[in-house]
Amino acid sequence: MKLESVLQFLENKTILVTGAAGFLAKIFAEKVLRVQPDVKKLYLLLRAADAKSATQRLHSEVFGKDLFRVVKEKYGPNFSSLISEKVKVVPGDITCEDLGVMDSDLREQMWAQIDVVVNLAATTNFDERYDVALGVNTYGAKYVTEFAKKCSQLMVFIHVSTSYVCGERAGLIKESPYRMGETLNGVAGLDIDAEKRIVEEKLDELRREGASEKETRVAMKELGLKRAKIYGWPNTYVFTKAMGEMLVGELKGDMSTVIIRPTIVTSTYKEPFPGWAEGIRTVDSLAVGYATGKLTCFLGDTNGIVDTIPADMVVNSMMVAMVAHAKQPSADAIYQVGSSARNPVRYSSLQDYGVRYFTQNPWRNKDGKPIKVGKVTVLKSMASFHRYMAIRYLMWLKL
């Protein structure tokens, strides 16, 4: 699809973006403002108690980031007026009905004006508290879908999920939808409302026992992992995202809906400039561990594929899907956005890239001295990993 088609579609459109302070949401908002200043309105939903605190978050956590450097340079002194005219911050909470938008006039205005809803709100911690993950990733998807259905002018609803709702499988994985109650391992009995009741009952039990905040947090994390593994998912994150997809599919009706499933999202490839990332994300922790000399071994197959995708490519895919499916309801519009089939990156390549880059650009310790790096010892089995740990650490600890 040509860029002109996307630009033409965005012109004079009103778009709601949830999770506006998130990584992908910021990149999406930046791209819209940079390439199409004639967008009508961007409603950016931020979790906040009121408009004042939401506005503070908007300027510190969104527009205050280096990501917006290019668009600020493009518009110069007119950037502030562009934001004032085109962007409306919305204090809310996707874990609540009507997205927690308390201002009834604002809600009615949004329902009358919005053309596109983009749901990017999520918690991506693999071992998140089950109550938190269920509220944001599962019931959040439900409430955003219901909100989108109330938008009288809606052309398309984009829900961003993850490819890893498919679990740990080998080979070609098709873009199949999840039906209500469907599980990865075929175990029957998955009921989303029942999962919510299990969470509530566990929290009540912890309160009766006088559990501390730390004990409650640990118990909720353990509960999420336990419930995920009962039905075949490896962690709380992908389990709750899969249930979110089930609710979107169940509730969307004839609304034009697209589910985007990216793989491991990394820093930007080109737009607005190469290499922008925020915090330590996904595979970034491996790079940091290696660069600081703390990662000396790695358990895995060097021929295995690391299915990564740059964040700006995910955003481009979302925009193309918006145009392709606007006012085009289909049974199951699902796109898995990754690199493994077309342009695979293998762990052996990551190792080579790491050695080359951090040799030329070494990480410096607190004294300012460069940290030398070398080849990481790759262990191909748990038995070899146990031997390595015993020889390198346990034996010396015992001595």
Could you say which of 237, 290, 335, 347 is catalytic?
Answer: 237
- Based on the residue annotation, tell me whether 241 is a catalytic residue of this protein: yes
3-state secondary structure of 209: coil
Contact of 58 with 44, CB cutoff 8 Å: yes
Element (H, E) at 299: strand 297-299
Contact of 133 with 235, CB cutoff 8 Å: no
Distance CA 383, CA 69 (A): 49
- Assigned token pair, 46: 């931020």
Could you say which of 26, 86, 142, 241 is catalytic?
Answer: 241
List Cα–Cα distances, 87 to 136, 224, 280, in angstroms: 24, 37, 28
HEC string of the chain equals: CCHHHHHHHHCCCEEEEECCCCHHHHHHHHHHHHHCCCCCEEEEEEECCCHHHHHHHHHHHHCCCHHHHHHHHHHHHHHHHHHHHHEEEEEECCCCHHHHCCCHHHHHHHHHHCCEEEECCCCCCCCCCHHHHHHHHHHHHHHHHHHHHCCCCCCEEEEECCHHHHCCCCCCCCCCCCCCCCCCCCCCCCCHHHHHHHHHHHHHHHHHCCCCHHHHHHHHHHHHHHHHHHCCCCCHHHHHHHHHHHHHHHHCCCCCEEEEEECEEECCCCCCCCCCCCCCCCCHHHHHHHHCCCCCEEECCCCCECCEEEHHHHHHHHHHHHHHHCCCCCCCEEEEECCCCCCCCEHHHHHHHHHHHHHHCCCECCCCCECCCCCCEEECCHHHHHHHHHHHHHHHHHC
Give catalytic residue positions: 237, 241
